[in-house]
Amino acid sequence: MDKTKKDGKFKITKTQRIAAIVVVVAAVGSLLATIFYTEQRSVESYCKVYTQEKERLSKLPGNTYPSGVFNDEISDAGEFAVSLGRLEKVAPDEISKDVEVLRKSYQVTDEDPSKAIAASLNTGSVDRSIKEWTAKNCQ
């Protein structure tokens, strides 16, 4: 930035002024888009994210950790936690708590694989419940 003093003030060129305005407008636009474009909790949003995550997970290798919700097995429990975290953000109220419980279970398993069996036993019914709800609502 060319800062030349004239009468004790810095002189800003027309190009610099336009660039500053563009940056401010872009920042405000980005902020507004983030505020107003967050996916809403709805069956439609849930099903959209579910389809995306099921596709993503199907490409991952392994068979260590099963998921009834995604009808898949992969070797990284953390990836199930990531997918469930994305679902949790858009899940309708009637299913959001179950999704949260299952996400936390996969996080525990990812952080300490020795807890996988206990986590699985504690969340088996939640996994089935989410799977049934998803099958019923996401055609």
pLDDT digit string (tens) for 18-64?
A: 877 888 887 776 665 555 555 689 999 999 999 999 999 999 998 88
Tell me if 77 sits within 8 A of 36, measured CB to CB: no
Could you give the percent of the chain with pLDDT greater than 90? Answer: 54
Residue 132 and residue 123: Cα distance in Å, rounded? 14
Report pLDDT for 65: 87
pTM (predicted TM-score):
0.70
106 sits in which H/E element: helix 93-111
Q: Which two tokens stand for residue 15?
A: 């190009």
- The Cβ of residue 104 has, within 10 Å, a number of other Cβ atoms equal to 16
Q: How far apart are CA 70 and CA 58, in angstroms?
A: 9
67 and 73 Cβ atoms separated by less than 8 Å: yes
Q: Is the pLDDT of residue 109 over 70?
A: yes
E-state strands within the chain: 4-6, 9-11, 65-67, 72-74
At 138, give phi and psi (nearest 5°).
Answer: -115, 95
